[in-house]
Amino acid sequence: MDLVIEGRAWYKGRLQHVCIGVQDGLIASVKKSLKAERHLDYNDRIILPGAIDVHTHMREPGMTHKEDFATGTTSAAFGGVTCVFDMPNTRPPTIMREDVLEKKEMAAKKAWVDFGLFGGVSDSSNPQRIMDSVIGFKIFMSSTTGSVLLAEDKDIRRALDLIQPTKKVVSVHAEDEHLLLKRQDAGLVQHGESRPPLAEASAISRLADRSKGMAINICHVTSQEGLGALAGGSFTSEATPHHLLLNVTSCTRKGFCKVNPPLRRKEDQEALMAAFADGRIDMLASDHAPHTTDEKERDFDQVPSGVPGVETSFPLMMAQVRKGAISLERLVSAACARPAEVFGLRKGLIEVGRDADLMVLDPRQVGVVSGRRLHSKCGWTLFEGHEAIFPQAVFLRGQLLVEDGGLVGERMGRDVVARRRIPT
């Protein structure tokens, strides 16, 4: 074996002291005792699977003044995220085959962690032409930053009919465009009223009939109404730390707090956290969507929606584990195991045959989030001063990537979707 990593690992549903043997980037053995040329003993520190962030916006191509694959995946690595999925609303959007393949080349040259690309869907595109190159498809049922809108039932039905034979996951930005108020908002409360919870529930309900025959994932659920609508179908779902931990009252940074879907009332936040804690929400996702400080300091109605989060997502929720708000089992499931299961990845668990994507952390070492110390190009965070537990070491396919606050090793992120030739 190339390497043995020893410590208290999350293995077979509980923490136990084991040795993890790594060979050719995969977990080759998990036993009480193993020998190898290289042995790293983390004593009583915790070893977890690397997190998979199923919802990020790396902003490349077209908006690289906000982020790019190099800075965004570096940020991911420091947060314990060893695989990211990038959304299609770039410039140009990844709808056409040429644009998907071009973005793949960009990511492959720059990524520090593994990645997958979502394909966009328009009212005239054929998703089947890019199915072999994308991790899944994204449908925007409402207008948001750079989205390709599918608001009408006939267009959504056409898209789902074309996607169904591909067996790919369809992630949906579920806000009903017809229920949004088209007005200039002066602040967070008005922004929330313009994009009400009813719009979320309506969009989810419109998809319920198709959910039983397809893998439909509802992105960034925010409200009690949205949670109720999920029960009407066979969906998977995701929630973000900013909707789980913040609300329209507690987030005081005005334009910096503007996001789609909006931050909700405290009652919605608490209901969402309860649903996440008891497993009614499948996955944790950051919806990492950075903008520059200058863009966020404009007049509120001109501020673009979106917040960064790929680096702080898991550490913030790990601090919630320490506080007893959620269990470690629930967090590992939502951030690691369930994303791997939903999207069919050889990641997300510490078991033989999986990628040796691992993070090492000490739950006794509680830090605070500081925008100055984060690695996103945007340089700010909504969670300034919040408690977080960052990993002390991160491994990607058995190679040490982050250690004691520094980036080490080589850039080796790769596409998790095999690139096969697509007929012209």
pLDDT tens sequence across 307-323 = 999 999 999 999 999 99
Q: Is residue 387 part of a domain?
A: yes
The answer to whether residue 421 sits within a structural domain is no
Task: Report helix, strand and coil shares of the chain as percent, to nearest 5.
Answer: 30, 25, 45
CA distances from 205 to 225, 229, 231, 237 (A): 11, 6, 9, 14
Question: Is residue 332 located within the same domain as residue 376?
Answer: no
Structure tokens at 308: 């960064």
Q: Which of 325, 343, 361 is the last residue of a domain?
A: 343
Statement to judge: residues 171 and 299 lie in one domain: yes
| Domain containing residue 60: CATH number | 3.20.20.140
Is residue 125 scored above 70 in pLDDT? yes
Assess whether 223 and 255 both reside in one domain. Answer: yes
Nearest of 56, 61, 105, 52 to residue 80 by alpha carbon: 52
Range with lowest mean pLDDT among 89-98, 141-150, 155-164, 413-422: 413-422
Same domain, 112 and 170: yes
Tens of pLDDT, residue by residue over 320-369, are 999 999 999 999 999 999 999 999 999 999 999 999 999 999 999 999 99
d(CA 389, CA 134): 32
- Give yes or no: 287 in active site: yes
- Identify the band that residue 144 occupies on the pLDDT scale cut at 50, 70 and 90: confident
Residue 32's CATH number: 2.30.40.10
Tell me whether residue 221 is in a domain: yes
Catalytic hit among 185, 287, 355, 357: 287
In a domain, 424, yes or no: no
- Predicted confidence (pLDDT) at residue 424 exceeds the cutoff of 90: no
Q: What is the mean pLDDT of residues 133-141?
A: 97
User: Do 249 and 315 share a domain, yes or no?
Assistant: yes
Pair 268, 392 in one domain:
no
Which residues pair with residue 394 across a beta bridge?
A: 359, 402
Nearest alpha-carbon partner for 148 in 116, 193, 104, 118: 118
Sign for the CA dihedral angle at 246, 252, 257, 262 comes to positive
Task: Tell me if 420 is assigned to some domain.
Answer: no
pLDDT at 385 over 90: yes
Per-residue confidence (pLDDT) for residue 418, from 0 to 100 = 63
Number of folded domains that form the chain? 2
d(CA 195, CA 336): 30
Query: What are 387's strand-pairing partners?
Result: 368
Both 78 and 28 in a single domain? no
What does the pLDDT read at residue 338? 98
CB atoms < 10 A from the CB of 234, how many?
A: 13
Domain termination residue (choose one: 343, 360, 378): 343
- Determine the Cα–Cα distance for residues 375 and 379; give it in Å rounded to an integer: 7
120 part of a folded domain: yes
Asked whether residue 279 falls in the same domain as residue 137, the answer is yes
Q: Are residues 203 and 288 in the same domain?
A: yes
For residue 383, is it within any domain? yes
For residue range 218-270, what is the model confidence (pLDDT) as tens digits?
999 999 999 999 999 999 999 999 999 999 999 999 999 999 999 999 999 99
Question: Which residues, in sequence order, are CB contacts of 119 under 8 Å at separation 6+?
Answer: 88, 94, 95, 100, 127, 130, 131, 133, 134, 136, 137, 138
Tell me, what's the pLDDT at 203? 98
Parent domain of 14: 3-48+351-407
* Whether 224 and 308 share a structural domain: yes
| Domain limit, last residue, from 318, 343, 368 | 343
pLDDT range class, residue 423, cuts 50, 70, 90: very low
- Decide if 301 is inside a domain: yes
Q: Which residue has the higher pLDDT, 314 or 410?
A: 314
Q: Are residues 141 and 168 in the same domain?
A: yes
Whether residues 322 and 355 share a domain: the answer is: no
